[in-house]
Structure 1
Amino acid sequence: MPLSEHEQRLLEEMERSLYQNDADFVAKVGGKRARPAYRSIVLGVLIAVVGVAVLVTGVFVQQPIVGILGFVVMFAGVLVAIAPGKRVSLDDATPTSARTAKAARGRQAGFMDRMNDRWDKRQDGEH
């Protein structure tokens, strides 16, 4: 079920607020995204297929060492295929507004800091 226009606007506003107020959190959680390394996937699959062929050959000729070698080659191929891809730098993955907010963080207090200051002033005024 698609979101209504009002819900989409609220979601976009919340996302912008997150990028502006919590740039450090965004950098830690989603700052870097891995791109799939298609070359590694193809190479890993080919190595795994060769490993399976060597494993089957080892079973066929009844040589356990050849079967074990085939299993090791197959396992190495799977590891190559699932290896993480290249990382995208934070500057490429983070929107401009988040970088601007992070740079401005030193110049002005964040929303929560201002709210805490207001709360402290209220508490000091009542006592």
Structure 2
Amino acid sequence: MPLSEHEQRLFDQIERSLAEDPKFASAVRASDPRFHARRRLVIAAFMIIAGLALLVYGTVSSNTLLGVGGFVIMLGSAAFAMHSRRKGQTTDLHAVGGTASRRPGRSRKSGGLLDRLEERWKNRPEGHR
């Protein structure tokens, strides 16, 4: 159902006032999971570069422990980046300044590995026994 002229003008006025409010904009940005995920990805990228530098320096200086430490930092940072990217793609809803929000969890998958394997076992072709 389309809005009336009066409702459309009120809606435009509310939209302009919200766009001009820096406090509201920062509150929305602070509750946006994509903003936090992007920041974590940048941090993880810097940590991967630092781990690579440690790995190369450990290899050049024949310090095996330093090279292994650099590799572990790279590996952990890559896992952190993948987790942050996956978390940034979810569409969790958050209320700005409120308490209503969806709890984080397994919203995409209904069960774990064992549940999926059990479902595949139940749905297997009957002729291959």
TM-score, normalisation: structure 1: 0.40
Structure with greater helix share of residues: 1
TM-score, normalisation: structure 2: 0.40
User: Taking CA–CA contacts closer than 8 Å with sequence separation of 6 or more, which of the two structures ends up with the larger relative contact order?
Assistant: 1
Name which one, 1 or 2, has greater alpha-carbon Rg.
1
